[in-house]
Amino acid sequence: MEIFGTDRHKIIHGDALEALKSLPDNSVDLLFADPPYNIGKNFNGSIDKWKTEEAYLEWCYEWLDLCIQKLKPTGSFYVMTATQFMPYFDIFLRKKLNILSRLVWSYDSSGVQAKKYFGSMYEPILFCVKDKSKYTFNADDILVEAKTGAKRKLIDYRKAVPTVYSSEKVPGNVWEFPRVRYRMDEYENHPTQKPIALLERIIKASSNEGDLVLDPFSGTFTTCFVAKALNRKCIGIELQDEYVKIGLRRLQLADEYKGEKLQKEIRTFETEKIAGINQQTLFEPNGTHIHD
């Protein structure tokens, strides 16, 4: 296990179970866990597939228990997994925590979609707290437009003095954020990078400036990147050194790693731009499809 960074922004390069055990109990304000889903993704050569589903769940139960142990009594826990495993997480966690929301991160289609069944267009997230009468929820920091009130300027005549419907509301439990695509600025070379916007909503809602945010499966370190930008402290744990390098660069904790200069990988369209190839592109810079 190797530790990088400062007291405020720390990266632990190592196994999540071991790293979690090394942290003090009851010390974390917000924990976001986005583990391998046991669906065969390739994390820098390590295939995300356990021998059996039971073995995957046993492993998950172990780190889920550690996460609970590390959370402060006032802490919040957001956890993701594949749709087929979420019911097991739900049953396991609701005996130990209060599940306040069962969120759906819904996204638009991209690439080849299923033709003989209904393709998967969402990922589930559980939002849990230790104490449902004492936890952070900064509703005002995450308001979204309330379509009815804002767009249609409806008036609520049930009130003593008729008033315009509120133009903002706390988001419901279906969250629409585009997946991170190759052409987006935030893109990093990782198969399951989560969008900045998703973590922004979670961190703003469930932590305050100066709080400690922990992510035991950091990947591209989106959680820590957003936590740092929002003046939170963070600890990110990750097993693969290729991804630790992304974290060190994204969090501006180092310029080099073992003698290697840390630079964002140049994407194919950027090479073409550098080489001055004025080729007609199928996509606009923001990834919008403009030709077939």
Residue 71: count other Cβ atoms within 10 Å of its Cβ. Answer: 23
Q: Is 240 in the site for ligand SAM (CB under 6 A)?
A: yes
Q: Which of 190, 201, 228, 233 binds ligand SAM (CB under 6 A)?
A: 190
- Kindly state the number of chain residues that form the binding site for ligand SAM, as judged by CB under 6 A: 19
The dihedrals phi and psi of 164, each to the nearest 5 degrees, come to -70, 140
Tell me the window of 68-76, 149-157, 170-178, 187-195 that interacts with ligand SAM (CB under 6 A): 187-195
Residues 194-213 as x/- pattern, contact with ligand SAM by CB under 6 A: x-------------------
Which residue's beta carbon is nearest to the bound ligand SAM? 219
Q: How many CA atoms lie within 13 A of 253 on its CB side?
A: 25
Residue 267 gets the label, from left (phi > 0), alpha (psi -120 to 50) or beta, of beta
Nearer to ligand SAM, 29 or 238 (CB): 238
| Distances 170 to 37, 142, 174, 189 between C-alpha atoms, Å | 29, 7, 11, 33
Instruction: Tell which positions 12-51 bind ligand SAM, by CB under 6 A.
Output: 15-16, 34-36, 43
Choosing from 76, 81, 206, 222, the residue that interacts with ligand SAM (CB under 6 A) is 222
DSSP letter for 70, please.
Answer: H
Q: What are the percentages of helix, strand and coil residues in the chain, rounded to 5?
A: 25, 25, 50
Stretch that binds ligand SAM, among 135-143, 200-208, 214-222, 267-275 (CB under 6 A): 214-222
Radius of gyration of the chain (CA): 21
- Does 193 engage in binding with ligand SAM (CB under 6 A)? yes
Interface with ligand SAM (CB under 6 A)? 15-16, 34-36, 43, 190, 192-194, 217, 219-220, 222, 237-240, 243
